[in-house]
Amino acid sequence: MDRQQEFVLRTIEERDIRFVRLWFTDVLGMLKSVAVAPAELEGAFAEGIGFDGSSIEGLARVFEADMLVLPDASTFQILPWRGESPGTARLFADIRLPDNTASAADPRFVLQRALTKAADKGLTFYTHPEIEFYLFEQRTSTDTPPVPVDNAGFFDHVPHGTAHDFRRAAITMLESMGISVEFSHHEAGPGQNEIDLRYADALSTADNIMTFRTVIKEVALEQGIFASFMPKPLANHPGSGMHTHVSLFEGDRNAFHEAGAPYQLSRTGKHFIAGILRHACEMSAVTNQWVNSYKRMWGGAEAPAHVCWGHNNRSAMVRVPMHKPGKDQSTRIEIRSLDAAANPYLAYAVLLAAGMKGIEEEYELPPEAEDDVWSLTDRERRSLGIDPLPASLDHAIHLMENSELVAETLGEHVFDFFLRNKKAEWAAYRDQVTQFELDQYLHRP
């Protein structure tokens, strides 16, 4: 038992917290919450709180025993949107088996395991996500396309615009929850916004993303609008990605940096990129997990649909940003395929594992893509050795099914559940008769 936990208990007493929510994430990336009374929290730190996980996606019993949620005291936060007093607080929790070993079904554990593996080699994984989302008018039905709150474009300043107020309120709330915001602006689509979180270790980032989504939705509700992280909500406007800048640190030293190398990128950095690229297709079902994800990916513009890397090439899947002199520690790479509806724990786990594999096996980095990949013809791309990412969820599932890397990283239980769930999703999607089909075929021959 540690100080942090004592601090939590003391704060709860001092701040008159009446409700404590233990947050965890299911395999699909949905936030789940178990409410406990503050008095129970002390016991929860020591022994966890028992619950029946069988009704939660992917948590179906690995063993015939109830599971425990064990709160992580370092994630304690008072929730700002529930009014000041009596207050509500939340902690992220790990899912454990009765004898306190980690549950194989816990996405947070999947990421922890991947991080530990890297830590065994002396490396720490840092991530910095740029999260895009749309703000829409509030409405109850999904029969017609959603209506964005404004019609502005990239970086537009909308005077007294909803989005502007929204971002200010959201950022204030995020900061009050200890999540630092790096940057925020209006994105290219109408009603589309981007907020960048400050870089942190991958586990904190993943926790922060889960909190972020909740905060954004909460603030939107307060303002009478709603927020969506759907990868491609509007057919004719850009989708919402979650470009993530990643770097590896060896102690205090940025392992991607090498002074004097092209783009100041070290061998480690190059192998890491090579790993991401080589395994991009097979982990696509994790980084882009919904049917809809592939509509963003193949929607052109800034969404990357091809496995390649480039320097400041916004059509490439992996981008090596411009090096700023004197900022050696900030050498990093940007992975642009991820979308905003991914399960951040699983997505970061597979990205790290792929990169680490590249380092371990010293994959060779393919040549840089210098052109806008979208402007090339199929044949040109093939001659350049640039492969496409999967065209659909179906395709992605299929590639993942044969991936040893993904199986090993997710663990057999999550791997199997994930595949089964995604196959069901694909089947349900395929069973639709869409407006497109009616328009096209109803009157044909």
Partner 1 sequence: MTAPTRGALVRAGFLDADRSGRCLEDLGDWATDEVVALLAASPDPDQAVLGLVRLSEAADGEDRAQLGALLTDQGPGRRRLIQLLGSSSGLTDHLVRHPAHWREVADAQPRDAATIYADVAGDVGDATGTTAYDALRVAYRRQLVRIAAYDVTSDPIEALPIVGESLADLAGACLDAALGIARREVEGADRARLAVIGMGKCGGRELNYVSDVDVIFVAEPVEADDETGAREIAGKLAVATIQACSAHTAEGTLWEVDTALRPEGKQGPLVRTVAGHAAYYERWAKTWEFQALLKARHVAGDAEVGAAYLDAMLPMVWQASTRENFVQDVQAMRARVEQYVPASESERQLKLGPGGLRDVEFSVQLLQLVHGRSDEHLRNRATLVGIESLMRGGYVGRTDAHELDRCYRILRVLEHRIQLSRMRRTHLMPTDPEQLRPLGRALGITRDPSEGVVKLWRDTARDVRRLYERLFFRPLLSAVARLSDDDACLSLDSAQDRFAALGYADPKGAIGHIQALTGGVSRRAAIQRTLLPVMLHWFAQEADPDLGLLAFRRISDRLGGTHWYLKMLRDEGGAAQLMARVLASSRYAGQLIEGAPSAVAVFGSSDARIPLRRNQILEVLRAAIERHDDPDNAVRAIRETRRTELIRVAVADIAGTLDLDTLEQALTDIAAATIQSALDVAIREVERASGDPLVTRIAVIGMGRLGGRETGYSSDADVLFVHDPRPGADSGRAQTQATQVVNRLRDSLGASGPDPSLTVDADLRPEGKSGPIVRTLASYAAYYQRWSAGWEAQALLRAAPIAGDTDLGERFVQLIDPLRYPEGGIDDAAVRQIRRLKARMEAERIPRGGDRRTHFKLGRGGMSDVEWTVQLAQLEHAHEIPALRHTGTYSLLAVMAKHDLLTEEEAELLGSTWSLATRMRNAGVLWRGRAMESLPSSLGDVRGIASLLGWPLTRSYGLQEDYLRQTRLARAIVEQRFYDSDLTEGRDEFPTPR
Q: Which residues sit at the interface with partner 1, rule CB under 8 A?
A: 1-3, 5, 42, 46, 61-65, 97-99, 101, 104, 298-300, 305, 374, 378, 382, 388, 390-392, 395, 398, 401-402, 404, 407-408, 411-413, 416
Nearer to partner 1, 175 or 412 (CB): 412
Tell me 339's DSSP state.
B
Nearer to partner 1, 239 or 344 (CB): 239
Min dist. Cβ of residue 429 to partner 1 (A): 16
- Please state, in angstroms and rounded to a whole number, the distance separating the CA atoms of residues 242 and 333: 14
Nearer to partner 1, 352 or 414 (CB): 414
Cβ(136)–Cβ(225) under 8 Å? yes
Q: The tokens 């703000």 sit on which residue? A: 135
Query: Which ranges constitute the DSSP H helices of 19-86?
Result: 38-47
Nearer to partner 1, 212 or 415 (CB): 415
Which of helix, strand or coil describes residue 64?
coil
Q: Would you call the peptide bond into 388 cis, given omega within 30 degrees of 0 as the criterion?
A: no
How far is the first Cα of the chain from the last one, in angstroms, to the nearest whole number? 73
Residues 6+ apart with CB under 8 A from 187: 132, 154, 193, 194, 238
Min dist. Cβ of residue 199 to partner 1 (A): 24
Min dist. Cβ of residue 297 to partner 1 (A): 10
Cβ(294)–Cβ(394) under 8 Å? no
Nearer to partner 1, 17 or 97 (CB): 97
Nearer to partner 1, 54 or 172 (CB): 54
Nearer to partner 1, 166 or 290 (CB): 290
The Cα-based distances of 341 to 296, 344, 409, 414 in angstroms read 11, 8, 20, 18
Min dist. Cβ of residue 202 to partner 1 (A): 22
Residues 6+ apart with CB under 8 A from 411: 104, 110, 113
Nearer to partner 1, 47 or 361 (CB): 47
Closest Cα partner for 192 from 135, 142, 138, 232?
A: 135
Min dist. Cβ of residue 401 to partner 1 (A): 8
Min dist. Cβ of residue 228 to partner 1 (A): 22
Which of helix, strand or coil describes residue 43?
helix
Nearer to partner 1, 188 or 407 (CB): 407
Closest Cα partner for 385 from 307, 274, 280?
A: 307
Q: Evaluate the CA torsion angle 297, 299, 303, 306 in order and state its sign.
A: positive
Tell me 264's DSSP state.
G
Min dist. Cβ of residue 277 to partner 1 (A): 17
Min dist. Cβ of residue 355 to partner 1 (A): 22
Nearer to partner 1, 61 or 198 (CB): 61
Min dist. Cβ of residue 104 to partner 1 (A): 7
Min dist. Cβ of residue 2 to partner 1 (A): 5
Residue 112, Cβ neighbours under 10 Å: how many? Answer: 19
Burial of 38 per CB tally in 10 Å (0-12, 13-18, 19+): middle
Closest Cα partner for 289 from 107, 104, 148?
A: 107
- Please state, in angstroms and rounded to a whole number, the distance separating the CA atoms of residues 107 and 349: 9
